[in-house]
Amino acid sequence: MDLTQGVIKQHIVKLAVPAVVGYFFHTMFNITDTFFAGMISTQALAALSLSASVFFMILAIGIGMSEAVTSLVGNALGEKDIHRAQHITLNSVAFAVGLSILLSVLGVLSVPFLVEALSDPSYVAETLQYINLILYGALFFVGAFFLNALLNSIGDTKSFRNVLIFTAFLNIVLDYLFINYFKLGVSGIALATVIAEAITMFYLFYKVRKTKLWVGFSSFKYDKKVISELLKQGFPPSINMFMMAFGMYVITYFVAPFGKEAVAAFGIGMRIEQVFLMPVIGLNIATLAIVSQNNGAKAYERISPTLHAAIRYGWVMSTIGVSSFFIFADYFASLLTSDAEVIEQTALYLRVCGLASYGFVVIFISIAMLQGIAKPAVIFPISVYRQVIAPAIVFTILSMLGFGILSMWIGLDMIIFSSAIFLWWYAQKQLKILER
């Protein structure tokens, strides 16, 4: 799809809607896991909550690097250099294989220390059972990210949508069988996830092979410059994603003293919140693809309208989400757990932190635009601030003063909004430089 021509708003809708549908089912995939973990025990719920932050830290690097693939290939396509796009594609696939092996090894070695650092022995064993099995399948996760990034660069967000719909329903069946018939506990949930992700990766590889980007492994020539450019472009978003995951870990660390119910509620709340943040992810993907191609084509006048339209769409969807949280938060929580205290804590989180979705819209869209114009350097410092420095300082002060968990969630909102304001200012500054 040529994104350098045509109506920008139509391109955003065509790219974002399939992506939103796909990621909706991906989130439902996670919610299914949470539902079945709730059937096991509150400890199992807490184990999945902790695993989410730890595992995402490992995979964040893969996700960030895959976004660099969309930017590089998209820019090559915008320049009408199909041979370079094909060359980048083959080097990206090779890079994904090596990266996944490295992440598996690092993950298995580091996870015990990260899990035990939270010092709650009641669910450490279940957490390790779940996450170690997931880490052995890192190749499928990283491979799927990279292959989907290639498809996104040519405007194909439908293939990922289709396979995610299929695997979401498959995951329900597998979770049910592994837990109720094979009695595998949280290990069964992990096994179902790995199987579904393997199917996703192989399907996306099949779709990539049918595109103009694929010329076969026989044409592969290792290019140090391409790998270097992948690392240069991918490092900032990788750090951003890693810091998001580490931020989840930091929050879990400060929430843990409030009990396993609070940890479980945080995990459930995030998964529910993710459902309503799906439009933001879709808009992020659409923005990155559109900006990348137009930047490569030097059609800079189309970048600013893309940024502003995406943010407007995001705020409309955020209003729907925030309203839903205020009215139905308790009901949403009750769908995933019968524990009254966990339901109450989850509802509190959703009603307070749901407001931050407005800030997330600005953050995600601004980051996508900066990646598209190959100016991702600011992502690193703002991620460190938003995910590590500010939470550590704010939550430590609140804990020392003896404030309750409500103050934690209010503090989190303030951190997200301050990050959004800065990124908006910086993005506007870069746009003015680009348009001169």
246-279 pLDDT tens trace: 777 788 888 888 877 888 888 888 878 877 787 8
Quote the tokens at residue 294. 């137009």
pLDDT band for 175, please (50, 70, 90 cuts).
Answer: very high
Q: What is the pLDDT of residue 108?
A: 85
Q: Is residue 239's pLDDT more than 80?
A: no
> Which residue type does 244 have?
M
Alpha carbon distance 210, 111 (integer Å) = 38
Q: What is the pLDDT of residue 192?
A: 95
Q: Is residue 365's pLDDT more than 90?
A: yes
Q: Which residues contact 389 (CB under 8 A, 6 or more apart)?
A: none
Q: Could you give the count of Cα atoms lying within 13 Å of 240 in the half-sphere of its Cβ?
A: 26
Q: Which residues contact 217 (CB under 8 A, 6 or more apart)?
A: 90
Q: What is the pLDDT of residue 374?
A: 80
| Contact predicate 294/4, CB 8 Å | yes
R_g of the chain computed on alpha carbons: 21
pLDDT digits (tens, 9 = 90+) for 18-68: 877 877 777 777 778 878 887 887 777 777 766 766 677 667 788 788 888
Give the mean pLDDT of 91-98. 94
Alpha carbon distance 85, 370 (integer Å) = 20
pLDDT band for 351, please (50, 70, 90 cuts).
Answer: very high
Q: Is residue 119's pLDDT more than 60?
A: no
Q: What is the pLDDT of residue 417?
A: 95
Q: For residue 94, with 0-12 CB atoms within 10 Å meaning exposed, 13-18 middle and 19 or more buried, which class applies?
A: middle
pLDDT digits (tens, 9 = 90+) for 300-332: 888 889 999 999 999 998 999 899 999 999 999
| Contact predicate 43/260, CB 8 Å | yes
Q: What is the pLDDT of residue 193?
A: 92
| Contact predicate 8/306, CB 8 Å | yes
Report the length, in residues, of the chain: 436
Residue with tokens 């969807």: 317
The share of the chain scoring above pLDDT 70, in percent, equals 96
Q: Is residue 405's pLDDT more than 60?
A: yes
Q: What is the pLDDT of residue 170?
A: 95
**Least confident piece of the model among 51-60, 151-160, 389-398, 421-430:** 51-60
Quote the mean pLDDT of the chain.
86
Burial letters 238-262, b for 16+ CB under 10 A, else e: bbbbbbbbbbbbbbbbbbbeebbbb
pLDDT band for 299, please (50, 70, 90 cuts).
Answer: confident
Alpha carbon distance 128, 116 (integer Å) = 10
pLDDT digits (tens, 9 = 90+) for 155-173: 888 898 899 889 989 999 9
Q: Is residue 118's pLDDT more than 70?
A: no
